[in-house]
């Protein structure tokens, strides 16, 4: 519905019908639709001149499907019923022209369908009611062949064209009604269920929707490399168990091998409710996994992955997990229909479920090494930022799904920008190269001009002030539902082809721009590990041959160095404790100072709050908009404090002190062992790992200097969810339809804003301890992660030194014959390693 076309005639008509002085802002798509619906349904019961109590009850029962009696929309409905009856608008259908002009063909057909539904509620359609509805249909410009389908659906009589039925089903597709409330979408879905069905010819069971041949070949390639790495690991383990190599090398190779074995492509599917996510996933996976409904249903993160047997695991926020049945999965993975219709934030917030894992050997995409993360609908989700951060962590690709029938409204644009920012670690000017945008329901666009317009609008947004995505073939225009239907019917059309184009490009991206890079990194690391192992084995042979001897004095020096290195570890730990104590104290003082002026700053920000929703008929939506803006303002203020005060004034100096001390200690360790190597006149202690450790630590300290505080939108992620349910919403919604007349529209809107602000402030105040605890946890991790990193380097240094002494000690105790046997054994292992290294190079190509 194009609300830009709302003129003074429509405003005047609705003011007459409701008995209220309305403005253009008060005229929303649901209001226009509801006014027309009330008029048509009133005409159905008044057409014979006699209105029975049964008919009145039926009328109210029908209208109650679309609004609760005590809601603003319910109050509006009552006013409309009185106004339509008083003005007898149902007799003067020409007066509805300003409203009809605003309605889409689908909305007009839906109105007629509701009229026939109510007329047939008693089991029979009165001839006078039928003629009235035919007049209405003519006024609404309903095609006669479409009207024939509707009449046959409720009367059980009459003929209609098969093609006309398909057209009606398409026009009443729930995806066409997203500018109306969810209750209308649900009603449209129920109406479609009443339509006649045509028995389709039996179709032979098709193969998987997509074969994913490219991914299958890649997985074979990965498994070959993984097999070679595992063989290398077994050799290194044998050598380490025999004390010819330090255990650190065994751990290093095992880590690389484990990564290859467990490597999966992680693909996140993100979008608002009712964008066709479930249908898309079912098409990608080759079978119906996700429940498909006309109303929002996905209520939790669902991970879909390959498993040797079918099983579903439910993980709870308190750490519990249990295996559940498929029926339980459909229930737990969804929010209730009533919650979807009434506003779902409270149910989402109160959910105890963290995520659900669905494993099966039959999921076509997952069989080929892909793990899919299905997001809950995020348009009304109270923890949207935290969920997107969790979804996109270590994600290889993100698929953002939008609806061609209402392309990227402002809230959805904000969500897309948020997703892009998470993918590029908050770099505002950097586009995401692993973000795919799918425009769904392209089959519902009736005109070619509309399709061209959609593409132009999307390209304009993507290529706007800051480029959102980069890379080839990242935008696709599809219809998952139409493609799946075409596949099942064994036909090839533009939608099936478009879907296959998308899956092909997703495959190519995952393999060429993600998988190959991961494999190359793994093989490069394994080659380095092999060289270290070969060098270590060469040193072991030299020790066995007596070419490398350690005197008692040198042995004592090495032991002293081991003790000194251990002492450096203790020194760093003590420093971390001291710095943390100081930082906690400074952070708490800064936090209290920030809180003192927060209320005043939030009041100033609230002056900029705005909403397109009317304080008369859309108070619930208005309150939600203000609540969202309150949350945004609060998270913005928190981010400003974190970035400008906590990070720069409190943390930065202490972290720099710690980083500098760690670098100095690593350099001292390296220098000391270089001296030992010089004394031995041999590079007996491999110093490469120490040099690399310094470089790696330096890069990590730079790249991830701020740890969790470097995550975009950290403030939004840790803030409590400010929800407006319970007493405050009762106050807002309890303001009757006539209340505004006593205090004025402006005063009513200001009252709603004040209530939102007060409730939000109270909930925030009650959560202060929890917020500060989360901040302190991140502060602690900044220091502890650095400590653990350097402790691993120190442990590796000690183990290598101890291995050198152990080898020397073993030589003294072994006979000449034993040493010769060990030399032969080492040489064999060395040859095996070199042979596997060569095979690895050939496999990589």
pLDDT-flagged residues of the chain (< 70): 1-5, 67-72, 179, 181-182, 198-210, 273-274, 286-299, 332-351, 377-388, 673-745, 845
The Cα-based distances of 309 to 138, 357, 360 in angstroms read: 57, 13, 6
Q: How far is CA 741 from the centre of its chain?
A: 44
Residue that the structure tokens 């026009």 belong to: 171
Collapse the DSSP code of 713 into the 3-class scheme (helix H, G, I; strand E, B; otherwise coil) and give the result: coil
Give the span between the Cα atoms of 800 and 665, in whole angstroms. 18
Residues 188 and 218 in one domain: no
Q: How far is CA 99 from the centre of its chain?
A: 38
**Positive or negative, the Cα torsion across 455, 460, 462, 463?**
positive
Q: Which of 528, 623, 449 lies closest to 232 in space, CA to CA? A: 528
Q: What contacts 732, CB < 8 A, 6 or more positions away?
A: 619, 620, 623, 724, 752, 755
**Encoding tokens for residue 222?**
């990965």
Residues 105 and 251 in one domain: no
According to DSSP, the residues that pair with 267 across neighbouring strands are 372, 397
Give the span between the Cα atoms of 803 and 243, in whole angstroms. 7
Domain that holds residue 510: 213-520
Q: In what order do the strands lie in the sheet with 311-316?
A: 321-324, 311-316, 353-360, 301-306, 370-374, 265-271, 397-403, 435-440, 475-477
Give the span between the Cα atoms of 472 and 513, in whole angstroms. 11
Structural domain includes residue 770: yes
Structural domain includes residue 831: no
Question: What pLDDT is stored for residue 843 in this prediction?
Answer: 85
Give the span between the Cα atoms of 438 and 406, in whole angstroms. 13
Write down the H helix ranges in 242-332.
247-262, 277-285, 326-332
The CATH number for 309's domain is 3.40.50.300
* Crossing angle between the packed helical segments 816-844 and 516-544, to the nearest 10 degrees: 160
Radius of gyration of the chain (CA): 34
Give the span between the Cα atoms of 503 and 212, in whole angstroms. 8
Q: How many CA atoms are closer than 13 Å to the CA of 673, on its beta-carbon side?
A: 26
**Encoding tokens for residue 272?**
């608002």
pTM of the model: 0.80
Residues 112 and 235 in one domain: no
Structural domain includes residue 491: yes
Residues 171 and 223 in one domain: no
CB atoms within 10 A of CB 99: 22
Structural domain includes residue 400: yes
Residue that the structure tokens 């251990």 belong to: 566
Q: Which of 495, 502, 453, 449 lies closest to 475 in space, CA to CA? A: 502
Question: What pLDDT is stored for residue 348 in this prediction?
Answer: 47
Q: What contacts 340, CB < 8 A, 6 or more positions away?
A: 182, 273, 295, 296, 297
Residue that the structure tokens 């270089």 belong to: 674
Residues 371 and 475 in one domain: yes
What phi, psi does 447 have (nearest 5°)? -110, 145
Residues 557 and 490 in one domain: no
**Encoding tokens for residue 116?**
């026939």
* Crossing angle between the packed helical segments 105-119 and 53-64, to the nearest 10 degrees: 140
Give the span between the Cα atoms of 88 and 95, in whole angstroms. 10
Structural domain includes residue 258: yes
Residues 306 and 395 in one domain: yes
Q: How far is CA 589 from the centre of its chain?
A: 36
**Encoding tokens for residue 443?**
């089959």
Q: What contacts 666, CB < 8 A, 6 or more positions away?
A: 690, 693, 694, 697, 790, 793
Residues 189 and 220 in one domain: no
Helix (H) or strand (E) holding 433: none
Residues 109 and 225 in one domain: no
Residues 136 and 276 in one domain: no
Residues 259 and 400 in one domain: yes
Q: What contacts 721, CB < 8 A, 6 or more positions away?
A: 345, 349, 382, 383, 631
The CATH number for 626's domain is 1.20.120
Collapse the DSSP code of 596 into the 3-class scheme (helix H, G, I; strand E, B; otherwise coil) and give the result: helix
Give the span between the Cα atoms of 417 and 388, in whole angstroms. 11
According to DSSP, the residues that pair with 316 across neighbouring strands are 353
The Cα-based distances of 441 to 288, 403, 406, 480 in angstroms read: 19, 6, 10, 7
Give the span between the Cα atoms of 180 and 32, in whole angstroms. 10
Residues 591 and 482 in one domain: no
Concatenating the DSSP letter of every residue in 631-668 gives HHHHHHHHHHHIIIIIIIIIIHHHHHHHHHHHHHHHHH
Residue that the structure tokens 């470097």 belong to: 710
Structural domain includes residue 538: no
Give the span between the Cα atoms of 721 and 624, in whole angstroms. 12
Question: What pLDDT is stored for residue 379 in this prediction?
Answer: 52
Structural domain includes residue 462: yes
Q: Which of 241, 240, 827 lies closest to 544 in space, CA to CA? A: 827
CB atoms within 10 A of CB 97: 12
Cβ burial of 791 (10 Å; 0-12, 13-18, 19+) is: middle
Domain count within the chain? 3
Whether the CB-CB separation of 129 and 47 falls below 8 Å is answered with: yes
Q: Which of 690, 699, 692 lies closest to 799 in space, CA to CA? A: 690
Give the span between the Cα atoms of 795 and 569, in whole angstroms. 9
What phi, psi does 445 have (nearest 5°)? -80, 115
Give the tens place of pLDDT for each residue, 399-455. Answer: 999 999 888 888 888 889 888 988 887 777 899 999 999 999 999 988 899 999 999
Q: How many CA atoms are closer than 13 Å to the CA of 428, on its beta-carbon side?
A: 2
**Positive or negative, the Cα torsion across 778, 780, 782, 785?**
negative
Structural domain includes residue 827: no
Burial 469-497 (b: 16+ CB within 10 A, else e): beeeebbbbbbbbbbbbbbeeeeeeebbe
According to DSSP, the residues that pair with 313 across neighbouring strands are 323, 357
Between β-strands 475-477 and 301-306, what pairing exists: parallel, antiparallel or unpaired?
unpaired
Q: State which of 138, 161, 194 marks the end of a domain.
A: 194
Give the span between the Cα atoms of 592 and 590, in whole angstroms. 5
Q: What contacts 815, CB < 8 A, 6 or more positions away?
A: none
Question: What pLDDT is stored for residue 302 in this prediction?
Answer: 85
Give the span between the Cα atoms of 709 and 426, in whole angstroms. 11
Whether the CB-CB separation of 27 and 6 falls below 8 Å is answered with: yes
Question: What pLDDT is stored for residue 378 in this prediction?
Answer: 52
Length reported for the chain: 845
Whether the CB-CB separation of 276 and 441 falls below 8 Å is answered with: yes
């Amino acid at each position: 519905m194009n609300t830009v076309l709302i003129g003074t005639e429509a405003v005047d008509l609705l003011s007459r019908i409701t008995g209220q002085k309305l403005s253009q802002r008060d005229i929303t798509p649901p209001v226009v639709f509801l006014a027309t619906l009330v008029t048509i349904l009133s005409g159905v019961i008044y057409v014979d001149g006699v209105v029975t109590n049964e008919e009145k009850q039926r009328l109210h029962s029908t209208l109650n499907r679309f609004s609760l009696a005590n809601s603003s929309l319910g109050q509006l409905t009552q006013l409309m019923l009185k106004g339509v009856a008083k003005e007898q608008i149902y007799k003067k259908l020409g007066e509805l022209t300003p409203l009809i002009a605003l309605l889409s063909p689908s909305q007009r057909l839906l109105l007629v369908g509701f009229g026939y539904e109510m007329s047939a509620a008693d089991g029979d359609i009165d001839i006078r009611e039928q003629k009235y509805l035919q007049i209405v249909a003519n006024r609404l410009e309903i095609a006669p062949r479409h009207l024939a389908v509707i009449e046959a659906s409720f009367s059980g009589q009459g003929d209609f064209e098969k093609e006309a039925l398909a057209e009606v089903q398409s026009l009443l597709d729930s995806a066409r009604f997203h500018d109306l409330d969810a209750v209308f979408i649900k009603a449209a879905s129920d109406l479609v269920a009443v339509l006649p069905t045509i028995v389709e010819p039996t179709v032979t069971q098709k193969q998987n929707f997509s074969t994913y041949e490219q991914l299958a070949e890649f997985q074979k390639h990965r498994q070959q490399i993984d097999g070679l790495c595992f063989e290398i690991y077994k050799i290194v383990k044998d050598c380490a168990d025999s004390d010819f190599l330090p255990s650190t090398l065994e751990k290093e190779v095992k880590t690389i091998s484990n990564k290859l074995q467990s490597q999966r492509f992680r693909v996140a599917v993100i979008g608002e409710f009712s964008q066709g996510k479930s249908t898309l996933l079912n098409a990608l996976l080759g079978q119906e996994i996700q429940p498909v409904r006309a109303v929002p249903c996905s209520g939790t993160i669902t991970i879909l992955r390959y498993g040797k047997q079918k099983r579903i695991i439910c993980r709870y926020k308190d750490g519990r997990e249990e295996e559940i049945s498929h029926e339980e999965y459909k229930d737990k993975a969804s929010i209730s229909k009533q919650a979807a219709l009434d506003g779902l934030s409270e149910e989402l917030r109160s959910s105890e479920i963290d995520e659900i894992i669905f494993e099966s050997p039959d999921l076509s995409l997952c069989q080929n090494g892909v793990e899919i993360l299905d997001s809950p609908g995020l348009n009304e989700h109270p923890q949207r930022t935290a969920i997107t951060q969790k979804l996109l962590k270590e994600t290889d690709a993100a698929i953002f799904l939008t609806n061609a029938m209402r392309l990227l409204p402002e809230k959805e644009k904000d969500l897309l920008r948020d997703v892009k920012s998470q993918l590029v670690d908050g770099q505002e000017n950097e586009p995401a190269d692993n973000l795919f945008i799918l425009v769904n329901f392209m089959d519902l666009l009736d005109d070619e001009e509309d399709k061209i317009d959609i593409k132009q609008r999307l390209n304009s947004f993507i290529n706007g002030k800051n480029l959102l995505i980069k890379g080839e073939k990242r935008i696709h225009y599809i219809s998952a539902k139409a493609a799946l239907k075409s596949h099942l019917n064994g036909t090839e059309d533009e939608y099936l082809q478009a879907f296959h184009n998308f899956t092909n490009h997703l495959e190519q991206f995952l393999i060429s721009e993600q998988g190959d890079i991961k494999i190359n990194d793994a093989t490069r690391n394994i080659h380095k590990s092999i060289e270290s192992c070969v060098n270590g084995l060469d040193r072991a042979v030299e020790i066995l041959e007596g070419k490398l001897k350690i005197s008692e004095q040198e042995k004592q020096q090495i032991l002293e160095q081991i003790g000194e290195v251990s002492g450096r570890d203790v020194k760093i730990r003590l420093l971390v404790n001291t710095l943390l104590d100081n930082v906690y104290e400074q952070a708490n003082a800064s936090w209290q100072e920030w809180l003192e002026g927060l209320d005043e700053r939030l009041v100033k920000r609230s002056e900029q709050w705005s909403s397109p929703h009317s304080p008369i008929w859309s108070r619930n939506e208005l309150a939600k908009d203000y609540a969202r803006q309150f949350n945004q303002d609060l998270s913005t203020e928190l981010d400003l404090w974190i970035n400008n005060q906590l990070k720069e004034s409190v943390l930065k100096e202490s972290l720099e002190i710690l980083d500098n001390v760690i670098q100095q200690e690593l350099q001292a360790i390296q220098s000391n062992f270089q001296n030992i190597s010089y004394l031995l006149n041999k590079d007996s202690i491999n110093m490469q790992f120490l040099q690399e450790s310094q470089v790696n630590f330096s890069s990590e300290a730079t790249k991830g200097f701020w740890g969790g505080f470097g995550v975009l939108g950290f403030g939004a992620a840790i803030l409590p969810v400010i929800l407006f349910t319970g007493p405050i919403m009762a106050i807002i919604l309890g303001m009757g339809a006539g209340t505004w007349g006593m205090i004025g529209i402006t005063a009513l809107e200001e009252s709603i804003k004040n209530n939102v602000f007060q409730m939000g402030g109270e909930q925030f105040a009650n959560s202060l301890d929890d917020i500060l605890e989360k901040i302190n946890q991140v502060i602690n991790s900044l220091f502890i992660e650095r400590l653990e990193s350097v402790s691993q380097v120190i442990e590796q240094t000690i183990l290598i030194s101890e291995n050198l002494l152990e080898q020397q000690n073993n030589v003294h105790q072994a006979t000449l014959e034993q040493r010769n046997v060990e030399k032969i054994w080492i040489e064999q292992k060395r040859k095996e390693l070199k042979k596997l290294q060569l095979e690895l190079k050939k496999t990589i190509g």
